[in-house]
Amino acid sequence: MEVSASALDYLLIEAVPVARDVIEQLGIEDQDEAHHRIELYGYQVGKGLAQVFTRSRPRMVQQLEIIKFVCKNLWEVLYKKQMDNLKTNHRDTYVLVDHNFEFCRRMGTSLPPQATAELAYPYLCFPAGIIRGFLHAMGLSSTVTVEAPELPMVTFNVRIE
Amino acid sequence: MSKVRSVGEEVWKHKTDKINSELLTLTYGSIVAQLVADFDHDYAKVNKQLDKMGYNIGLRLIEELLAKTGLPRCQNFRDTAEAVAKVGFKMFMNITPTISNWSVDSKQFSLVFTENPLAEFVELPDKPNARDLWYSNIYAGVIRGALEMVQLQVEAEFVSDAVQDPSLPTEIRVRLVKVLEDEIPPGED
């Protein structure tokens, strides 16, 4: 079954004010707690997608194989394109780069890049969470951080623990 | 207004970027689950938050709907019901709820859903009061927000939900409160 892509866009855009609204109601001032919640929305989605994917294919075991799957298959399902670049130090650290991140393509502002990156950051916690959730479901515990000093280029730093 | 259904189908077929509904189901589900956890199973608060979220979406989504369809202003509330069910739900969710149970004064109707992409495979939390949760309450907010932008103040709320009780239909009641006045700038009449 299909739905319109903009239905999901509306939901993801609104997820940010919802997270802020919730922490305010809980009496929490630290905005990182809002970001944490958005990351958790993504984390659950990543876990769910891992279940969907693994229904119909043999289990992947190699770390690099799983990361490549994120860059190709997972990204294509989410954003209709693959990651543009993958770098690794071959010691549990991976850098995944999307040169033209779909969700941010229309996110231009007239602000300086640093300010724009700060505005975009909460929205990027969602895909970072998806990656962490997906990896977790594949048996890899990780931390995923995201930075986007030059939108729409977005960089995800994945460290397997 | 028999044309309305074809407008909705036309936009869905030719002017809509589509995604697998599973992605939307998972995303919505994860937001609801987090709200339930944050509000510690206070479902009244969860319902309110989902309604508010929908309202804010409705305020923006109507622009896309009007731009893509060029629908003329509705002549009466029956036209509005048709537009909500056959254009709104069709073009965003690819479903067409049935319009039923009109009140005698034509100011209230129900939308009855036989399918709901938001709630595919959903299981409610295993708590005694879980039936207080209107899982898809975001719809009620979207309807309220979108119609407010076309000068219709409405109330929208769930009456029953198959997620709670599979023997019941999924039904949203929509009530016209009043037609808002167009704001005419002073000195231009």
pLDDT tens-place string over residues A84-105: 999 999 889 999 999 998 776 6
Sheet strands (E) in chain A: 2-4, 85-88, 93-98, 142-147, 154-160
pLDDT tens for each residue of A114-142: 888 888 999 999 999 999 999 999 999 99
Q: What is the largest CA-CA distance in chain B?
A: 60
Do the domain assignments include residue B185? Answer: no
Residues of B in contact with A22 (CB under 8 A): 34-35, 38-39, 49
pLDDT at A23: 97
B20 vs A2, A11, A17: nearest CB: A2
Q: Which residue has the tokens 């990656």?
A: A131
Q: Per-residue pLDDT for A108 more than 70?
A: no
Burial bucket for residue A38 (CB in 10 Å: 0-12, 13-18, 19+): buried
pLDDT above 50: residue A13? yes
- Which positions in chain A touch B49 (Cβ < 8 Å)? 18, 21-22
**Long-range residue pairs from B96-104, CB within 8 A, at least 24 positions apart, any chain:** B96/B5, B96/B8, B97/B172, B101/B173, B102/B78
The count of other CB atoms within 10 Å of the CB of residue B59 is: 16
Cα–Cα distance measured from residue B114 to residue B19, given in angstroms and rounded to the nearest whole number: 21
DSSP assignment letter at B119: G
Residues of A in contact with B28 (CB under 8 A): 11
| DSSP secondary structure code for residue B41 in this structure | T
Residue A54: its pLDDT value, please?
Answer: 83
Q: Does B98 touch chain A (CB under 8 A)?
A: no
Of A15, A22, A45, the CB nearest to B26: A45
Q: How far does CA A58 lie from the centroid of its chain? A: 24
B22 touches chain A (CB under 8 A): yes
Neighbours of A2 (CB within 10 A): 17
Average pLDDT of chain A, as a whole number: 91
Question: Tokens standing for B40?
Answer: 């510690």
Query: Which of B24, B31, B64 shows the shortest C-beta gap to A18?
Result: B31
> Do the Cβ atoms of B23 and A45 come within 8 Å?
yes
Per-residue model confidence as pLDDT tens digits over A31-74: 999 999 999 999 999 999 999 888 877 788 899 999 999 999 99
Structure tokens at B125: 């939390």
Name B93's Cβ contacts closer than 8 Å, sequence gap at least 6.
Answer: A3, A4, A7, B117, B118
Q: How many domains does chain B have?
A: 1
What is the spatial distance between Cα B186 and Cα B183, in angstroms, rounded to a whole number? 9
Domain with residue B47: its CATH number is 3.30.1380.20
Going by C-alpha positions, the residue among B29, B59, B38, B141 that lies closest to residue A24 is: B38
CB B89 within 8 Å of CB B96: yes
User: How far is residue B68's CA from residue A100's CA, in Å, rounded to a whole number?
Assistant: 26
Domains of chain A and any CATH numbers: 5-160 (3.30.1380.20)
The three-state secondary structure class of B103 is coil
CB A158 within 8 A of CB A94: yes
pLDDT of residue B189: 46
Closest CA–CA distance from residue A101 to any residue of chain B (Å) = 17
Mean pLDDT per 10-residue run, chain B (189 residues)? 82 92 95 96 97 97 95 92 97 97 97 95 82 96 97 97 93 96 62
CB-based contact, B52 to chain A, within 8 Å: yes
CA distance B50 to B28: 10
- Does B189 reside within a domain? no
According to DSSP, the β-strands at B152-160 and B170-179 are antiparallel
Residue in the structure block whose two tokens are 């909705």: B8
C-beta atoms of B30 and A44 within 8 A = yes
Check if the beta carbon of residue B122 is closer than 8 Å to that of residue B98.
Answer: no
Other Cβ atoms within 10 Å of A123 Cβ, number: 19
- Cross-chain Cβ contact A1/B26 below 8 Å: no
**Tell me, what's the ipTM?**
0.92
Cα distance from B48 to chain A (closest Cα, Å)? 11
CA-based nearest residue to A11, from B121, B16, B61, B128: B61
Q: What is the spatial distance between Cα B84 and Cα B93, in angstroms, rounded to a whole number?
A: 12
In a domain? residue B151: yes
Q: Residue A121 has which token pair?
A: 């950051």
Query: What is the span of the domain harbouring residue B118?
Result: 2-179
Instruction: Give percent above pLDDT 90 in chain A.
Output: 73
In a domain, B188, yes or no: no
Please state, in angstroms and rounded to a whole number, the distance separating the CA atoms of residues A134 and A66: 9
A52·B22 Cβ contact <8 A: yes
Q: Dihedral (C-alpha) B32, B36, B42, B45: value to the nearest 10 degrees? A: -40
